[in-house]
Chains A and B, each alone.
Chain A
């Protein structure tokens, strides 16, 4: 909870700077890239987030990476501050919250679409349009597959869940039968 609040505070700080200079989207992309880099390079992430190493050593490692990146200075400085304040481990949370802030400003919503089988392009497009009409925002779909759904699709936007899977229908049928609704 505290960590989440601190992550929001840092995200808001960078977002504020980005809004002022008009580069909030670019900063967001840089954060996304850095966060993805941390995910892909676990050793690097463990080194910069672990207190086993001295701050100086961790700074050197970070600087080595930043030197090879084309991130704006604002983002580089932001990452250095996170390291100085021992908050670099929260980079994923900060990135998530920053994404939410940019999405709000850009009227974007992200829809997590889970499908039992691969969706065809036109079906995905139709679904995206339907969700955009439902939410009134531009929808960025994040599609994933889950065979346990048997068939159909599940969409999650924020706290809203729309379940059109065969699994959910079978569960509903099962509960109805158990309650004796079909007697």
Chain B
């Protein structure tokens, strides 16, 4: 909005300036033409008057220009325009600096992100390796345990089987021994056994 207002003011000043010029240059031109009409007559005495008219014309034009320029506040316009441009330049510079700073910050962030990404990747790789080693170790341990357990079970089963066989053999052997002794034992053997028992009883005393 202020931009349109400034343009309008410039346009108005130029129109005023042109109108003023026309206002004063047309009479001056007319005067000059009139004067050139009688040039032949007053050629000699007219030079001084012509110079005077020209000077007055010029002075008037300067005064009018001065007034017009003062009135049209062209100075303010240009100074404000300069200030505005300076401010805008400052703003742009600041914006550029901020943008550059932002860029640098983003670049740093990007670098940090890249570093972090690398670190995370490394960490993941390390964790993956550790997990892999752990899983392998666990699997090995489990396999070892299973083997040990299997060996233990086999050992236990073998011992149990051995014990069962031994028990069966012992039962058979003692059963057979009992059978033979029952058949073969005599009164003399009984007497001997009783005497042995009596000796043991006496030893207890």
- A residues contacting B by CB (< 8 A) are 115-117, 119-120, 123, 126-127, 130-131, 133-134, 150-153, 155, 162, 164, 166-167, 170-171, 173-174, 177-178, 180
Contact with A along B155-169 (1 / 0, CB 8 A): 000000001001100
For the complex, give the distance between the alpha carbons of A134 and B201 in Å: 7
B205 CB to nearest A CB, Å? 5
Is B177 positioned at the interface, with any CB of A under 8 Å from its CB?
Answer: yes
A148 CB to nearest B CB, Å? 9
B139 CB to nearest A CB, Å? 39
Q: Give the dominant DSSP class at B's interface.
A: helix
Is A116 a contact of B190 with CB atoms below 8 Å? Answer: yes
For the complex, give the distance between the alpha carbons of A162 and B198 in Å: 10
Is A134 a contact of B204 with CB atoms below 8 Å? Answer: yes
Is B200 a contact of A174 with CB atoms below 8 Å? Answer: no
A166 contact from B163, B181, B187, B200, Cβ within 8 A? B181
Is A162 a contact of B202 with CB atoms below 8 Å? Answer: no
For the complex, give the distance between the alpha carbons of A51 and B13 in Å: 153
A-B contact count (CB 8 A): 79
A127-B198, A133-B205 known; A153+B173 contact, CB < 8 A: no
For the complex, give the distance between the alpha carbons of A173 and B175 in Å: 11
For the complex, give the distance between the alpha carbons of A131 and B163 in Å: 40
Other than the given A133-B202, A150-B181, A166-B185, 9 more pairs (CB < 8 A) read: A126-B195, A127-B194, A130-B198, A166-B178, A166-B181, A167-B178, A170-B181, A173-B174, A180-B166
A131 contact from B173, B185, B194, B201, Cβ within 8 A? B201
- B residues contacting A by CB (< 8 A) are 163, 166-167, 170-171, 173-174, 177-178, 181-182, 185, 187, 189-191, 193-198, 200-202, 204-205
Q: Which 6 A-B pairs have the closest CB atoms?
A: A164-B197, A130-B201, A152-B193, A177-B170, A174-B174, A117-B190
Q: For A133, what are the chain B residues with a Cβ–Cβ distance below 8 Å? A: 202, 205
For the complex, give the distance between the alpha carbons of A30 and B32 in Å: 193
Is A174 a contact of B181 with CB atoms below 8 Å? Answer: no
For the complex, give the distance between the alpha carbons of A162 and B197 in Å: 9
Is A164 a contact of B185 with CB atoms below 8 Å? Answer: no
Chosen A-B contacts, 5 in total, with CB atoms closer than 8 Å, are A117-B190, A130-B202, A134-B202, A173-B177, A178-B163
Is B167 a contact of A178 with CB atoms below 8 Å? Answer: yes
Is B197 a contact of A177 with CB atoms below 8 Å? Answer: no
